[in-house]
Amino acid sequence: MNYRRDFFYITLVIAAGIVLGTLSACDDLSIKQSISDEEYLLVDQDSSSVAFPDSYKGKVMLVGYVYTHCPDICPMITYNMRDVQRALPDETDFMLVSISFDPDRDSPSILKDYAENYRLDEDNWRLLTGQRSEVEAALETLRISTVKTPTRFLEDGRAIYFIDHTDRVTLIDRDGNIRKNYLGSEFDPEEVTADVIRLLKNS
């Protein structure tokens, strides 16, 4: 048995494993898709016009997709994103964005109430709505699917329906590149916080 040769071989295999592991970790935040050339004219909870994503260029963004009448998944998405926000209170280059896919009901004032009810820090959290055509175009680019249930009407004329939707939160870098998607209702806030910090430092 050639111990020297075997030792060299084992050392080489271990080193290769470390390199591959490092590359896999780096690839975890590789560019998945660019939306830097896209522009969607939306409005935030303060009724201010927003050209998404260009209005937030230079910021690392965590983007969630919700609607205010959602009974289950959306509150969990919002709470998870809020945990990340609270873990990074002093990061001025970090922006959270919630895009409503129910623009018929989610007016800016409704989104404002939603932000206040969830005690969101609105200094770096924008909740967006807008014309349905603009919202749907943005969702298509971001690969978010929605299916509305049949509508029923109350005696006062109010429409009641729910929306099945993709459960996702998207991490976007300063240049408008999608770096990672998470299961919005179940992601680990500590993992997402670490990913945001990496992009803040490296981009």
What confidence score (pLDDT) does residue 21 get?
42
The residue ranges of the chain whose pLDDT is under 70 are 1-27, 203
| Distance, CA of 203 to chain centre | 18
What confidence score (pLDDT) does residue 28 get?
87
Give the count of beta carbons closer than 10 Å to the beta carbon of residue 49: 10
What confidence score (pLDDT) does residue 159 get?
79
**Residue 66 belongs to what domain range?**
32-202
**CATH number of residue 90's parent domain:** 3.40.30.10
What confidence score (pLDDT) does residue 203 get?
67
What confidence score (pLDDT) does residue 154 get?
80
- Using CA atoms, how far residue 133 sits from 41, 46, 108, in Å, is 10, 21, 17
- Distance CA(158)–CA(154), nearest Å, equals 5
- Using CA atoms, how far residue 155 sits from 40, 159, 162, in Å, is 36, 10, 18
Same domain membership, residue 97 and residue 17 = no
Q: Which residue's entry shows tokens 């898709």?
A: 33
Same domain membership, residue 117 and residue 22 = no
Pairing of strands 163-165, 169-172: unpaired
- Distance CA(181)–CA(105), nearest Å, equals 27
Same domain membership, residue 61 and residue 17 = no
State the pTM of this model: 0.83
3-state secondary structure 28-58: CCCCCEECCCCCEEEECCCCCEEEECHHHCC
- Is the separation of the CB atoms in 24 and 173 below 8 Å? no
